[in-house]
């Protein structure tokens, strides 16, 4: 009907649906309740969370998993401020997300309105685009621009501000210009001469190494990268969320010889990974001083950051790898597997794996990390989505738990953010449910990491999401105290002055948190108990939490280098 009137909430919901937004995660209150209801009426799935940070983490994970932004819906003031952590994390990870924040009424601006806060200005530091529609008629335009900005170029966070008075105000539908869905991101190619130069350098290398980043996973480059590895025999090293682009159990994966590979490679083909702290800035002593870097990235400003590349290939990862393959296929050249380079890597891989297995075979109780992860590895299906966060829990788990498929590992990421685990797991389970695929979602966390967003267990149970949470519990942050030591501390005096800052309550029953909301909780001390609990959890659809007690002093095996590179200045 030409004279039909639409509210601001309805306009926003319809605009999001037009832009192919399928999921909203949030916490409602004044003034955004009607927005969530309108979104549901428009066919968008709404998942009510318990904390805005977790809601924003979940919405951004949808962006990584699907290539289309999820939406985080928050109330004004503190609600939006809580979501800023999720926006910053999305920007650092280069994941698309759109945050929609209610705000105080326009006619009360500067008067000290309820939860009044300069939200558009505050979000500019954490986003690619931050705006408030100037009128109801402008809502579809701003929504299209926010979604487009979130996925074009380097993906990231965008913010839309909706004042309370706009939510229920109405406008005649005929006055609102129809805005169609934005086009898919344009696929850019690298310059042909630069690609030819890169191929020439690869062919001349004696110790080549492919580094596969989460940018490669996001660009759906797995088919081309697997062909590159299989045809030409390059060793490859995945970054944490680049795992699975090529299966971790592929014979050319050198994750178990990471330090040796980085130190000795003479040519590194960098595919959607940044030379930041995760890769030690590309600098000596972690890299050879003479290493030649072939850098492939979609973001021009990233090229040459920290290390000047020998060749810079600006473009979409999948498209550029396809270009590289096109040039390489012109002849029958193949990198020889039986070289000194491969011999060095294989020896290191075998040595590190043997060290890990020896630690895993220790029979002592409480268990160590390696015993736990080798037991978990035996049972996890190859297609499961692994969400991981914590310190040793995340780092050791990454080296032992394999991924066979891309976009099937999510963790603390570039920003090193704790608290992402349950939000990421919820998003993964919701996407799996929508796509009707058989993957299980397994969230493996340290006890400290679980505490950041533990109440999202209620969200998991409310929506009956078949998520398995595994808590590797060492009673602390990095390390903790056993129960006897804790009791001694209590006898000495006030815990505020005697307990180590890294310590948490020993033997905390996180499993009972899951049981309280109708899920299944397990308290585990031995490998046999762990095996039974995980096997039972995998065989049922009920949300479960396995609380595994390990030795509070358990640590990772000796490292060639400390994981965090520090400046010598």
For position 563, what pLDDT does the model report? 63
Phi, psi torsion values for 461, nearest 5 degrees: -70, -35
> What is the C-alpha to C-alpha distance for residues 229 and 538, in angstroms, rounded to an integer?
33
The answer to whether the CB of 143 falls within 8 A of the CB of 71 is no
By DSSP bridging, strand 45-48 and strand 157-163 are unpaired
Sign of the CA dihedral 444, 447, 448, 450?
Answer: positive
Instruction: Write a three-state SS string for 360-386.
Output: HCCCCCCECHHHHHHHHHHHCCCCCEE
For the cut 70, the answer to whether the pLDDT of residue 229 exceeds it is yes
Confidence of residue 330 (pLDDT cuts 50, 70, 90): confident
For the cut 70, the answer to whether the pLDDT of residue 568 exceeds it is no
> What is the C-alpha to C-alpha distance for residues 505 and 424, in angstroms, rounded to an integer?
26
For the cut 90, the answer to whether the pLDDT of residue 15 exceeds it is yes
Write out pLDDT tens, residues 137-186.
999 999 999 999 999 999 999 999 999 999 999 999 999 999 999 999 99
The whole-number average pLDDT for the span 29-47 is: 97
Helix axes 527-538, 369-379, angle to 10 degrees: 30
The whole-number average pLDDT for the span 322-331 is: 92
Residue-averaged pLDDT of the chain? 95
For position 122, what pLDDT does the model report? 97
The whole-number average pLDDT for the span 513-519 is: 98
> What is the C-alpha to C-alpha distance for residues 123 and 42, in angstroms, rounded to an integer?
27
Scan for tokens 């570039």, then name that residue: 414
> What is the C-alpha to C-alpha distance for residues 441 and 459, in angstroms, rounded to an integer?
15
The whole-number average pLDDT for the span 188-210 is: 96
For position 496, what pLDDT does the model report? 87
The whole-number average pLDDT for the span 41-54 is: 98
For position 492, what pLDDT does the model report? 83
For the cut 80, the answer to whether the pLDDT of residue 337 exceeds it is no
For position 333, what pLDDT does the model report? 77
Work out the burial of residue 500: count CB atoms within 10 Å of its CB; fewer than 13 is exposed, 13-18 middle, 19 or more buried: middle
For position 437, what pLDDT does the model report? 87
For position 388, what pLDDT does the model report? 97
The whole-number average pLDDT for the span 417-435 is: 96
- The count of C-alpha atoms lying within 13 angstroms of the C-alpha of 320, restricted to the half-sphere facing its C-beta, is 29
Write out pLDDT tens, residues 375-384.
999 999 999 9
Write out pLDDT tens, residues 58-91.
999 999 999 999 999 999 999 999 999 999 999 9
For position 555, what pLDDT does the model report? 84
For the cut 50, the answer to whether the pLDDT of residue 253 exceeds it is yes
Give percent of the chain with pLDDT exceeding 90: 89
For the cut 90, the answer to whether the pLDDT of residue 559 exceeds it is no
The whole-number average pLDDT for the span 218-225 is: 98
> What is the C-alpha to C-alpha distance for residues 316 and 295, in angstroms, rounded to an integer?
12
The answer to whether the CB of 528 falls within 8 A of the CB of 562 is no
For position 567, what pLDDT does the model report? 61
For the cut 50, the answer to whether the pLDDT of residue 569 exceeds it is no
For position 1, what pLDDT does the model report? 53
């Amino acid at each position: 009907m030409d004279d039909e009137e639409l509210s601001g909430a309805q306009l926003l919901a319809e605009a999001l649906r037009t832009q192919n937004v399928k999921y909203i995660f949030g916490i409602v209150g004044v003034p955004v309740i009607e927005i969530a209801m309108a979104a549901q009426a428009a066919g968008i799935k709404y998942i009510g969370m318990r904390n805005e940070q977790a809601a924003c983490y979940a919405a951004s994970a949808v962006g990584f998993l699907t290539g289309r932004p999820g939406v985080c819906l928050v109330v004004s003031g503190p609600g939006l401020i809580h979501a800023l952590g999720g926006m910053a994390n999305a920007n650092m990870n280069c994941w698309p997300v759109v945050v929609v924040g209610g705000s105080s009424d326009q006619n009360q601006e500067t008067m000290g309105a309820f939860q009044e806060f300069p939200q558009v200005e505050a979000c500019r530091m954490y986003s690619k685009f931050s705006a408030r529609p100037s009128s109801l008629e402008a809502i579809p335009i701003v929504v299209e621009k926010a979604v487009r900005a979130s996925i074009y170029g380097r993906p990231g966070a965008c913010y839309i501000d909706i004042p309370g008075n706009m939510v229920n105000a109405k406008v005649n539908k005929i006055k609102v210009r129809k805005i169609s869905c934005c086009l898919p991101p344009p696929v850019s190619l690298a310059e042909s001469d630069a690609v030819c130069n890169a191929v020439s350098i690869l062919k001349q290398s004696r110790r080549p190494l492919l580094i596969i980043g989460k940018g490669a996973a996001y660009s759906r480059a797995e088919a081309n990268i697997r062909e590159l590895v299989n045809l030409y025999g390059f060793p490859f090293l995945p970054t944490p969320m680049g795992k699975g682009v090529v299966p971790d159990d592929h014979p050319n994966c050198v994750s178990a010889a990471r330090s040796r590979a980085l130190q000795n490679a003479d040519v590194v083909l960098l595919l959607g990974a940044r030379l930041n702290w995760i890769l030690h800035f590309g600098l000596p002593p972690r890299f050879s001083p003479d290493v030649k870097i072939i850098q492939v990235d979609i973001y021009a400003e990233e090229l040459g950051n920290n290390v000047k590349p020998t060749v810079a290939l600006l473009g979409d990862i999948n498209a550029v790898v396809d270009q590289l393959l096109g040039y390489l296929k012109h002849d029958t050249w193949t990198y020889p597997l039986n070289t000194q380079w491969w011999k060095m890597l294989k020896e290191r891989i075998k040595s590190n794996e043997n060290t890990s297995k020896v630690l895993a075979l220790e029979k002592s109780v409480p268990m160590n990390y390696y015993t736990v992860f080798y037991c978990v590895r035996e049972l996890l299906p190859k297609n499961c989505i692994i969400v991981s966060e914590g310190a040793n829990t995340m780092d050791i788990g990454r080296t032992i738990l394999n991924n066979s498929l891309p976009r099937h590992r999510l963790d603390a990421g570039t920003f090193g953010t704790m608290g992402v685990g349950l939000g990421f797991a919820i998003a993964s389970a919701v996407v799996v449910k929508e796509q009707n695929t058989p993957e299980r979602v397994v969230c493996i966390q340290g006890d400290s990491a679980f505490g950041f967003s533990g109440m999202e267990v209620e969200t998991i149970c409310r929506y009956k999401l078949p998520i398995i949470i595994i808590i590797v519990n060492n009673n602390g942050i990095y390390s903790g105290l056993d129960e006897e030591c804790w009791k001694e501390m209590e006898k000495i005096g006030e815990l505020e002055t005697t307990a180590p800052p890294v310590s948490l309550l020993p033997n905390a029953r996180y499993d009972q948190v899951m049981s309280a909301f109708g899920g299944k909780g397990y308290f585990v001390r031995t490998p046999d108990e762990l095996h039974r609990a995980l096997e039972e959890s995998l065989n049922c659809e009920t949300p479960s939490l396995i609380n595994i007690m390990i030795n509070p002093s358990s640590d990772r095996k000796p490292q060639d280098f400390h994981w965090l590179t520090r400046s010598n200045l």
